Structures are given as structure tokens and as C-alpha cells.
Chains A and B, each alone.
Chain A
Amino acid sequence: MIAQIFDTSDAAVADVADGATVLVGGFVSAGTPSNLILALKRGGQTDLTAVANNIGLGDLLDELCEDRQLAKVIATFAIRASGTRSSRFEVLYRAGEVELELVPQGTLIERLRAGGAGLGGVLTRTGLGTMMAEGKQIIELDGERWLLERPLRGDVALLKAWRGDLHGNLQYRLAGPNFNPVMATAADLVIAEVEELVEPGEIPPELVGTPAIYVDRLVRCEPIPVRWEG
């Protein structure tokens, strides 16, 4: 249950395999593990599937497109509404060099939750009557129609928290949690970057946002500021 502490973000992600499915926490600038993303870029892993809220909105996940490390992206925001500026991802997507699975945000989080919580799927109204329902099972219960959405898991999750203790407990700040706490439950290997590494007990137990049981590796990093470019 004790998390492994790594000295560098590069070392923390060094054994992520080619072809891995990588869950990436964060919402544009908030709670995004930008150091771990850049470590993956330096690591050169290829054929990755990235699962994240957004790509190409000023986030550094877009950097993984520079050397074509992504085979597929599962996201809620991927293509800007306006065509005035293109992300690296968008250029590759239009060239047919990376696959995109667009998922409604509330469905993405519940698929991850199901994946992390040992559930077989989620029934939702979201997406009924839209392109999102294509090829999916519709289940009728007591006269109501529901779309069956399947669980989603990663081989690896990359998270960002404010503080982490040596056991692996994480504390988030402000709107930093977003996808991180659920992604922590839904991957075989969970790696978190934190701004501060503290002794067990320094994070008051009631303020632990992700309990240590989910966290395998911690690395302390200076946060990299990111801004939305819509």
C-alpha cells in the first residue's frame, strides 16, 4: 500500500509500454499532469491510446502528436468549433493518422467509474437518438429506453494532485479533481505528479481526495502552467 516515490517524471513513466491505454486526468489547465505527459513524450512510447477530457486546447497532450505517439484518442473535446487554428492532433486526425472516439463528458466519467468500480456498464439517456448511440445496445426497462455504455479502463493512469503523502494519499486543490479521482480507480498502474510531497498524516484524513489504495507511484514536480486556447 506504500506508494513508490520517483525522483523524476521520466523515471516514473519509463516502463509504460508501447500500445498502452493511458488515462490522463485534468480539464485543460486544472489538475492536468503536464509533467508526466512531457515525460511520455521524452520516453518515446508509441501506439498509445489516450483517454482524456481534452486534447489540443492548449493542453500538452497535444505534444504527443508531434512524434505521432498516439494511435487513438478517447475524449470529449478534440476539434475546435472554429477553424481558425488547428492543433497538432487535429492535423493528424484530418490526415487519418490518429483515431478519435468522441464521448459525452458525463458518459466518459461513468464508463471510467464502471471500469474502476467493478461494474459491467452504465445505462444512460445521454446520447439516445444521436450519433453516440450508433452500434450500441438500447435497453428498455419499465417502458424507458436507455443506452448501454461499456466500462473503460486503462493500463496506466497519469494524475495530478496538489499534495501527496508518502503512502500515496492525494489532496486536490480548487477545481483540480475533475477526472483524477475516478481515473485513479480505473487503471492497473496509477502514477501521480504532486506539487508537494508530505509525511503521512499531514493531509487531514477528511481532505484526502484519492485514498492511497489506488496510487502506485508519486513524483514531485513543479507544475507547468497551461492555458486554454479555444
Chain B
Amino acid sequence: MSSSTPPTGLSRELIALRAARELEPGSVVNLGIGLPTLVAGFVKPSDDILFQAENGILGYSGISESDFDSDLINAGGQPVDLVPGASFFDTADSFAMIRGGHIDAAILGGLQVSARGDLANWYVPARGGGSVGGAMDLAVGARKLIVAMAHVTRDGQPRIVEICEYPLTAERCVDVIITDLAVIDVGLQGLTLRERAPGVGPSKVAEWTGAALLIPEEVPEMSL
């Protein structure tokens, strides 16, 4: 592990922007609480992406600036605006969508991701208790799971590790990791660096990654 300070990477907003670019036009997407909620602000209406909130909305466009209606919130409790064609449903229907493979992609926050794609994102052992929400269902049910998180902890420990120390959300569920330093694909052969943040070299990414990282000859910078 390096004793230097981690390189300055993307802001939370730019991580969210890069994560938004990962979404296929026309797909149905669930956004986790925290950083992932910012993603809704970075998709274009022409992308025709439908956001699902697990508390029972299909088709919200983003955080509402208008008056707060206590019955119109996303899963993070934030007021939202609806798109034409939106629908409401109860929690059983919502998780039929999620576990039943009807959600094309989920973007969740992460505490740790392992080399084989295990995700830990609901329980910090030092704090105890935890809050799981819909994360475990989304991790097993979404067709594609994107984790958006800081590359290292506040005290400089890698969050991408050989084996998660934190309690798992689900095993072998992560497809793509998007951080302030890199875009990393998770595959059968392990982790592959796909893109790097502007000004951050592949070796820097590897230095701050706690698991083996395959580095192709050409690793383009993210276009933001």
C-alpha cells in the first residue's frame, strides 16, 4: 500500500455523470440512496430512461423543486417529478419488478467491492445495526449492477479489495465499478480497467486498488 496521498479524482457529480453514461437508452433503472440519486440529473430526456423507485414509482424524472407532497417521494425520501406515463404500485409489485429481472440496471453505492464482484454496502461494522433497504434485492435482481463510489476510504484504504471484510449485500453481483479514479469491469477473469479519470494514470489506479487489476495496453481517459 502506498504511503502517498490518493490522487484527486472526479467529484461526486462527475462520478454520477459518468455512471449516467453507462445506461442504455430506453432502459429501466433503479438508483440507490446517496451518490446514485444524483444520476437522475445527468440523463437526457431523449435517452428515454425510466427510473424506478422501490417505494412504488415507475417513471420519475428527478428531484422536484416544487412544493413537497409527502406522498410523492423516491426511496431516499426526496420529492420527485413524474414523467408522462408514470405509474404507482405497492411494495410487493415493486419487488416483483426488482427480483423478477424486470429492472435493466441498478446503480448502488458501495463500501467495498471484491475481485469477484461481491458487494458490501449496507453495514459498517464500526457503527453496527445497519440499514439494508432494498439493496440486497436490487443486487440479486437487477440485470446489470453498477456500483458508484469513492475509490478509497477517507483514510486512504482501497474499497476495491480481494475479499470484502464488511458484511456482504450479495455475492458475485457487481458488473461495473465507477469511481472518482476509474471505470472497472468485473468479469470471470477478475477486474479489468476500462477507463481512467482525466490525469490519472493506470498505475495510479492499480496502486489504489486492493485487488489484482488487469490493465489493457490502451486505457482511455473518461470522456466527461
Give residues in A with beta carbon < 8 Å to B. Answer: 27-31, 53, 57-58, 76-81, 83, 90, 93-94, 100, 102-107, 109-110, 113, 124-132, 162, 172-182, 209, 223, 225-228, 230
Contact = CB atoms under 8 A, between A and B. Distances in A.
B187 interface: no
Contact of B171 (A128, A131, A178, A179): A128
A28 B77 contact: yes
Contact of A129 (B57, B128, B168): B168
B169 A130 contact: yes
B137 A79 contact: no
Interface residues of B, number: 47
A83 B128 CA distance: 11
A190 B130 CA distance: 30
Interface in B76-102: 76-78, 88-92, 94-95, 98-99
Interface of B: 33-34, 53-57, 68-73, 75-78, 88-92, 94-95, 98-99, 118, 123-124, 127-137, 140-141, 167-171
A175 B56 contact: yes
A92 to B, nearest CB: 11
A225 B70 CA distance: 7
A100 B130 CA distance: 10
Contacts of A174: 69, 71-72, 88
Nearest to A93: B129
B63 to A, nearest CB: 12
A172 B97 CA distance: 20
B136 A126 contact: yes
Nearest to B57: A175
A27 B74 CA distance: 9
A105 B91 contact: yes
Given A182-B90, A227-B77, A125 B99 contact: yes
Contacts of B77: 28-29, 57-58, 227-228, 230
A105 B137 contact: yes
Given A129-B170, A226-B70, A81 B34 contact: yes
